[in-house]
Structure 1
Amino acid sequence: GFKKDDPGTIPKSSFNEKLVFCPVSTKRGTVHMRRFVLVLTLMLFLLGPSLSRAAGLDADADGLSDLLEAKFKTDIVNPDSDSDGYPDGLEVNNGYDPLQGRGIKLKKRIEINVKTQKLQYFLGNVSMGEYVISTGKKSTPTPKGSFVVKNKLPRPKSQAYGLWMPYWLGLSAAGIGIHELPEWGKGKKESAADLGKAVSHGCIRLGVGPAKKLYDWAEVGTEVKVY
């Protein structure tokens, strides 16, 4: 042994030991990382899509969540799966196919299920999200069929009912649109407790947050299917 604060007694071998570095294969490390992320994403997916969304995992920091990476079949640890110079998230957020690399637009679509009171929106064949809604009551039912978004208005007022409809997506069905929970006089807003129930005048109502997100995402001409 050696005495504390007495360098003369420290064994010479202590000074002669060499640092040994274990070489790591970048390729092998990437493969292991990809497998780890895929397994983790699968676990989260099995536990529930809502948990995956809440976690907000984005292994390659490309702006596209790992859950959506799995749906689009993009490379979960490569921010630019098609090597076109644009991150996967940027392409998807602007409606482009993240796997083609040739500026190919994917079709946007909104589907509304009156029975379940749910709305889903799609880019190509990938569901981008699902929201609870409120459709028309029995006396003023929401019309079923295939429509398109005809116009977008930030906060129009209904002359028939005297209420404001934030984030309005007007449909090709006359007088019908998708919008946030309406606002009545003196700042009174429709209760979120009505979501999931058929209580509207025919329009499709969304909660605060989802309405703006869908408004920003949808374009004039976006297909809307109500069934």
Structure 2
Amino acid sequence: MTDLAIRPDADAEHSGAADTLVDDETFVDDSPAPEPEYQWAPADEAPKKRRVGMWVGIAAGVTAIAVAASSLVLIAPGTAVAGVPVGWLTAGAATDALQSRLADTTVVLTGAGGDVEVTGADLGATVDGRALADTAFAEHPMWNVSAWFAEPLDASIALDAEAATAALRAAAPDLYTDPVDAVVSFDAETASYVATPAVEGTGIDVDALRLALQDAYTSGQTRLEFDAVATPVTALTPTYVADATVSSLNEILDTAGFYVGDERTVPVSRDIAASWLTVTPGDRGTFEITADEDAIAEFVPGLAEAVNRDAVDARVITDTGGEVLREEIAGVDGRVLGETSTVSSDYAAQLAQGDGVFQLPVEQTPFATTALARNIVVDLSDQRVYLYENGGLVSSYLASTGLAGSPTHVGNFRINWKTPLQDLGCFEGAPYCTEDVPWLAYFNGDQALHGAYWHNNFGNTMSHGCVNLPPATAKFVYDWSAVGTEVRVQY
């Protein structure tokens, strides 16, 4: 529905009206006021108010907010990293400025190298711009007025050694000679590995250049002169690396073989072991050792014959208390070679690590031990010697013990010393001298069981205290007994 308003007719309002001028700007209507006429008409819209002052205030507020916001992301005025100003910049822009300044820095090579130029970018110079920019903002944000115009932050320059060397070599080739790497080879004449020493080259000292570039960058210079003096350049593979590799390889040759425990059951000769090995340059100036698995595999079929064996039981001589006095037969474990399908590959991998001792897979069969408890009885009553083993009588022999003036002493003794031949009593003042007495086993001071070649009256007392036996019998007793064997002299 249309809004209508009742208003006086405009034409009727002013028809026939006489206006009187009151002053320069105002008229007064002196005529009688006509009767108003009314009609329906749409209501006029209210005029819009102008808000000029409000818009000016909003703009100023936005500007203030923008300034405040920018202060939260910008680095404070007067801030520098090394020699690069980064004030009024964001961390991202500061990062670009730091790296750009370094990349554009010019190095003039002077001296024998000639006046040639390279840039930081050519040298592969880098700086951790992002970390430095972040630090600059963290320590010197714009919003913190007290952090404005602070001391410059330090920055460390890094050079890509390969890129720097390539750029410098291209700029000053006369300053460069190539070093010669150390070499490892096998000398067939000595069957050993030998090292050929490395030879130094020459070139520009990249680290010295980095320090000079560091100083220039820190002081804000974008151009510097560097005296390009040739300095020694170490070979990629130095002599000491070759010497260490030779030592490891020769250790392999010294020990190469297939082992069972500590026993090198199947030795491998030095020249054959060397034929299995290949030595090539490795990463970062080292050497890589590899082994020929197929060549090693040729040895595997013959391993069983060398390894397999039956057990050999041990035999020991003891006293009656079980203490071992002598080993008659050494015990040997039996053994059988185990699975060999991976021997060649496993040994090849082991040789590549510098280990020439390969332990074979073996199943052991332990040996048994037989103990023989032996003792001797000398009976003065019947002039006999009795030999016992494990409590049983082995044999008995007629003997000749001491005469009444030099009796064989009764008691329990042990054999404490043995000798196959000795002169008896042959010294100044001795009552007798018997030379070349055989098979002596001393059990009581100067009394011994021994052979007597000068009489055949065994079964009767004849000696100066020793126990005389026929020489052949004395040898048997000598061999049969051990040092520590118990000897009982009784009636």
Q: TM-score, normalised by structure 1?
A: 0.52
Equivalent residue, structure 2, for 1:75? none
Equivalent residue, structure 2, for 1:65? none
Equivalent residue, structure 1, for 2:423? 157
Equivalent residue, structure 1, for 2:482? 219
Equivalent residue, structure 2, for 1:175? 446
- SS state at 1:167 partner: strand
| Percent identity over paired residues | 26
Deviation at 1:105, TM superposition (A): 1.9
Give me the whole-angstrom Cα distance separating, in 2, the residues matched to 1:95 and 1:111: 25
Deviation at 1:106, TM superposition (A): 2.6
Equivalent residue, structure 2, for 1:108? 374
Give me the whole-angstrom Cα distance separating, in 2, the residues matched to 1:86 and 1:95: 8
- SS state at 1:215 partner: helix
Deviation at 1:167, TM superposition (A): 0.2
Kindly provide the CA deviation profile for residues 141-200 of structure 1, in whole angstroms up to 9, marking residues without a partner as x: 0000000001110111113431132100011x221000000xxxxxxx4121x1000111
- SS state at 1:221 partner: coil
- SS state at 1:211 partner: helix
Equivalent residue, structure 1, for 2:396? 130
Q: How many pairs does the alignment contain?
A: 130
Kept after mapping to 1: 8 A contact 2:313/2:369: no
- The residue identity in structure 2 corresponding to 1:158 is L
Do the aligned partners of residues 107 and 135 (structure 1) sit closer, same or farther apart at CA in structure 2, a change above 3 Å counting? Answer: same
Deviation at 1:206, TM superposition (A): 0.3
Equivalent residue, structure 1, for 2:405? 139
Deviation at 1:102, TM superposition (A): 3.7
Equivalent residue, structure 1, for 2:148? none
2:454 to 168, 172, 190: 190
Q: TM-score, normalised by structure 2?
A: 0.25
Kindly provide the CA deviation profile for residues 99-132 of structure 1, in whole angstroms up to 9, marking residues without a partner as x: xx84142321000000100101111112111100
Deviation at 1:85, TM superposition (A): 5.5
Give me the whole-angstrom Cα distance separating, in 1, the residues matched to 2:484 and 2:316: 20
Equivalent residue, structure 2, for 1:166? 438
Kindly provide the CA deviation profile for residues 37-85 of structure 1, in whole angstroms up to 9, marking residues without a partner as x: xxxxxxxxxxxxxxxxxxxxxxxxxxxxxxxxxxxxxxxxxxxxxxx86
Give me the whole-angstrom Cα distance separating, in 1, the residues matched to 2:370 and 2:313: 13
Q: Which ranges in structure 1 are unaligned for 5 or more consecutive residues?
A: 1-83, 182-188
Kept after mapping to 2: 8 A contact 1:95/1:123: no
Q: Which ranges in structure 2 are unaligned for 5 or more consecutive residues?
A: 1-310, 318-326, 331-366
- Greater Rg over alpha carbons, structure: 2
- SS state at 1:177 partner: strand
Kept after mapping to 2: 8 A contact 1:109/1:222: yes
Give me the whole-angstrom Cα distance separating, in 2, the residues matched to 1:105 and 1:136: 34
- SS state at 2:476 partner: helix
- The residue identity in structure 2 corresponding to 1:220 is V
Equivalent residue, structure 2, for 1:202? 465
- The residue identity in structure 2 corresponding to 1:170 is Y
- The residue identity in structure 2 corresponding to 1:162 is C
Runs of 4+ in structure 1 over 6 Å off? 90-93
- If asked which structure has higher relative contact order (CA below 8 Å, sep 6+), I would say 1
